[in-house]
Chains A and B, each alone.
Chain A
């Protein structure tokens, strides 16, 4: 059989190039992950993996509300209605979920002051106090945290 007559250098090189290109294409097909390009230029499975790999840590106000509807009802009436339970009481612990009688963190004055200590950077509409000029250093002497608008 007569081929178009190639000089020997070119002939060997063509074979080499062909072999390299074909090996690359095969490797590419075998090594590309299964779900790649499913929803875009990435492994489509990564979306589901992301959800499955991480469990939520914070329970969220709705979850607390399912067990403590009266507290949420009180909270909704006053100035603290936008607060989440876990902001002051800490993350709902596994302990608390298993044994509801085990208490959550009881907030101290530090928790109140974290937000309400006066600062020139805080917006003017926000209620702030300078502790040493205030009536007492113990917040709950006068204030009810779930009904902050009421003063005792």
Chain B
């Protein structure tokens, strides 16, 4: 290769400022939108489940109207959680290898087992124990395909005596307790995947898994508020404002803890200013301005903190309809803000070079294997699945069981 051609190439390379390692100087980041979505989805699952466990384990009676909805939301999102990963792999047809020869020193290797455990041993079991009595009843009363589905889901167990129901409740309670650390593991290991990478100072620290779990809880509660309000509005029913107030309260306190820990991370970085701080600061200002400062900090944290905080203090003076509008706005802001946070973590870590001397400017395409379009499709899939689940298990036309009311509308 002649010197002249090398010179031309050196001038034409548009994709970075400063110096980046040659292997980093490509046009697209290695981990794209799909890897941003995966922690977002598992975070929503973990958060929605924690919301549900508030009812079962901590016996917060006010949240009962959303108990089953939270569990079904968690299930709908969990069923879609593997899709972004499969779409991202260079060889998805070899993905089974992660369960056949899991390399136990790799946090990614526990994915298959944690996912299977959480889906089967926690979520499906808890749902089954809660719905079992209804499956038996609905299996007898509902016609056609629906009846067949309910009868299959009873797994042949038709005992609905008081003793059996009491056992169901007890087992459901035990599973909820096991489910809380399981939910933390399901999402915490993703945070650890990033936290364990010492090569990347944006990712590699001990606080990363904690930040992931806390923001997951926040996003999960916000999702439950959002779905509850949308569903109730679609059904033209009255909202249970007290339930919303309690959800809003948990959301506020979760957000306070989350914001504190995230702020601690930033303050510590700026204060200790270790090697690489200046390139990361430059990267965050140049490449992450809209998603970090505007999206995550202002819209996703500061605004909801102020509004929810005001609602905690001045709840009595604010009308119910205003409160519900504010809860809705806050939950949307938080959902977008946490998505922005996942973007900032995943992409922020790739926008600066490991040489600590350069910042890349990757293109993010719309269509294509790692494009926005695929991301939007994958993100809308859980909502479609949730619609089906609601039609099957939370339909208003179904008779409910006699014990604790789980319907989301107020009779």
Contacts and interface: CB of A to CB of B under 8 A. Distances in A.
Check whether chain A touches chain B (CB < 8 angstroms). yes
Interface of A: 7-9, 12-13, 16, 20, 24, 27-28, 31-33, 36, 41, 110, 114
A6 to B, nearest CB: 11
Contact of A8 (B3, B129, B157, B171): B157
Nearest to B113: A24
Contacts of A32: 100-101
Among all A-B residue pairs, the 10 with the closest Cβ atoms: A8-B157, A31-B100, A12-B155, A8-B159, A28-B100, A9-B157, A32-B100, A12-B157, A7-B167, A41-B103
Contacts of A7: 159, 164, 167
Given A20-B120, A27-B100, A32-B100, A9 B168 contact: yes
A32 B167 CA distance: 41
How many interface residues does chain B have, given as a range?
10 to 19
Contact of B164 (A8, A12, A36, A114): A8
Contacts of B96: 31
Nearest to A15: B155
A24 B103 CA distance: 17
Given A36-B101, A41-B103, A9 B167 contact: yes
Among A9, A33, A36, A110, chain B packs the most CB atoms within 10 A around the CB of: A9
Nearest to A30: B100
A12 B156 contact: yes
Nearest to A12: B155
B323 interface: no
11 contacts: A9-B132, A9-B157, A9-B171, A12-B156, A13-B125, A24-B99, A32-B101, A33-B101, A41-B103, A110-B2, A114-B3
Contacts, number: 34
Given A20-B120, A32-B101, 7 more contacts: A7-B167, A8-B157, A9-B168, A9-B171, A28-B99, A31-B100, A41-B103
Nearest to B171: A9
A9 B164 contact: yes
Contacts of B2: 110
Interface string B101-116: 1010000000000000
A4 to B, nearest CB: 16
Contacts of A13: 125
A24 B112 CA distance: 12
A87 to B, nearest CB: 14
A83 B132 CA distance: 80
Contacts of A28: 99-100
B174 to A, nearest CB: 12
A58 B96 CA distance: 39
A40 to B, nearest CB: 11
Contacts of A24: 99
A36 B125 CA distance: 35
B261 to A, nearest CB: 35
Nearest to A43: B101
B260 to A, nearest CB: 41
B137 to A, nearest CB: 16
Contacts of B103: 41
A33 B94 CA distance: 12
Contacts of A114: 3
A8 B164 CA distance: 9
A31 B132 CA distance: 36
A9 B132 CA distance: 10
A115 to B, nearest CB: 12
Contacts of A8: 157, 159, 164
A36 B100 CA distance: 11
Contacts of B101: 32-33, 36, 41
A150 to B, nearest CB: 28
A60 B274 CA distance: 46
A38 to B, nearest CB: 13
A24 B120 CA distance: 14
Interface string B149-166: 000000111010000100
A41 B103 CA distance: 7
A13 B129 CA distance: 11
Interface in B242-279: none
Among A16, A28, A110, chain B packs the most CB atoms within 10 A around the CB of: A28
Contacts of A20: 120
A28 B156 CA distance: 30
B68 to A, nearest CB: 19
Contacts of B168: 9
A152 B120 CA distance: 84
A8 B129 CA distance: 12
